[in-house]
Amino acid sequence: MSDYGRFRFQLSINCDIICMSVNKGGTYLSTRLLLLLLLTLFVLGACGQQVTYRHVSLREATDSVDEEKVSSTAPLRVAVAAVLSPKATLVSYQSLQEYLSVSLDRPVELVQRQTYAEINDLVHSGEVEVAFICGGAFVQGERDFGMELLVMPQVRGQTTYNSYIIVPQDSSTQTVADLRGKVFAFTDPLSNSGRLVPLYVVLRMGELPEKFFARTIYTYGHDNSIKAVADKLVDGAAVDSLVYEYAIANNPQYLERTRIIYRSPDFGIPPVVVNPNLDPALKAQLSNLLLTLHENERGRAVLADLFIDRFLPPDPNAYDSIREIAAAVRR
């Protein structure tokens, strides 16, 4: 008999003795001892058997749960370039954020960065799914990583906009040539209306931009550039026509303190863009939501907050002139 067998045999005898003692009116202590010995027998019996355990990876289980959760609750991230100052931009896009969240049944986050380059990087890396940017930033993103158009807005019946070069109302400057040796404000290094166009105009004059202006600054907001001119902090600036019209409509003082000395030809309007590798189903869903926004009352209220009539399918050819200007400035 093995040691374990002899132990169980002896334990069985002890249990019989205790049981007999209990039956004859043994003490409460004997009953407790019986239960303790029985429990010990059960534990030792289990220890005497070979048990095979199933391996469970907590990491794998956690990953599985997280992926399921992410697929259903991960926020849609929408990048918005600060065409207006950050606070004004967030207020304008808040109703769109809420509309998309309800329509998609998922959270929606608005993401802002100071520059168009930063927005392009977010789209490129997949850190945001969709972005509202300018034509110059789109052309650069298309060149860098194949950035794709999603939709384009229509504003006051048009899908084009212009670059305005503005100066203080009482300035003696009448033409772009008069800005030679002056302080000039650009909005952003990738902005078409706020940088590429004035550089292109100066180049067409046979001048080198870095020598033409006495000094240049970046304001990183078209409304900032308008204010800089109105306050005579700079001698001139290039701005988005849509933002300028919006600014003077809401702040008539700007009309009294600034004036336009140059208006560019028409360009494709600042578009809504996505990463080329965005999930096709999500891309189609987003496109459909924006293209039908004008068909319901709540959607029309969203568009009114954005000063947009409606969204239309994009026309890639609308940005050809910006592509040409960007190429000329790069040279």
> How big is the chain by its Cα radius of gyration, in Å?
36
Burial class (CB in 10 A: 0-12, 13-18, 19+), 243: buried
Q: Which CATH number fits domain 163-264: 3.40.50.1370, 1.10.1740.110, 3.40.190.10, 3.40.50.720?
A: 3.40.190.10
Greatest C-alpha distance within the chain:
122
Q: What is the pLDDT of residue 83?
A: 67
Q: What is the pLDDT of residue 143?
A: 97
Q: What is the pLDDT of residue 84?
A: 61
Cβ atoms of 247 and 187 within 8 Å: the answer is no
Phi (first) and psi of residue 184, to 5 degrees: -125, 145
Q: What is the pLDDT of residue 164?
A: 98
Handedness of CA 193, 199, 204, 205 (dihedral sign): positive
- Distance CA(98)–CA(108), nearest Å, equals 7
Burial class (CB in 10 A: 0-12, 13-18, 19+), 47: exposed
Q: What is the pLDDT of residue 81?
A: 81
Q: What is the pLDDT of residue 28?
A: 38
- DSSP letters, 243-262, are HHHHHHHH-HHHHHHEEEEE
Is 72-159+274-330 CATH 3.40.190.10? yes
Domain boundaries along the sequence of the chain: 3-40, 72-159+274-330, 163-264
Per-position pLDDT tens, the chain of length 331: 444 444 343 434 344 433 333 333 444 334 444 444 444 433 334 444 443 333 332 333 333 334 444 445 799 999 998 766 556 677 789 999 999 999 999 999 999 998 999 999 999 999 999 999 999 999 999 999 999 999 999 999 999 999 999 999 999 999 999 999 999 999 999 999 999 999 999 999 999 999 999 999 999 999 999 999 999 999 999 999 999 998 999 899 999 999 999 999 999 999 999 999 999 999 999 999 999 999 999 999 999 999 999 999 999 999 999 999 999 999 8
The yes-or-no answer to whether 72-159+274-330 and 163-264 have a common fold is: yes
Q: What is the pLDDT of residue 86?
A: 59
Cβ atoms of 214 and 181 within 8 Å: the answer is yes
234 Cα distance to chain centroid? 32
- Strands 310-312 and 236-240, how do they pair? unpaired
Q: Using DSSP, state whether 274 is helix, strand or coil.
A: strand
The H-or-E segment that residue 286 falls in is helix 280-291
Q: What is the pLDDT of residue 100?
A: 96
Look up residue 100 and give its amino acid. Answer: L
Q: What does each C-alpha distance from 172 to 98, 179, 184, 261 come to in angstroms?
A: 47, 10, 15, 11
Q: What does each C-alpha distance from 201 to 137, 218, 226, 238 come to in angstroms?
A: 19, 18, 20, 11
- Distance CA(61)–CA(55), nearest Å, equals 12
Handedness of CA 144, 147, 149, 155 (dihedral sign): negative
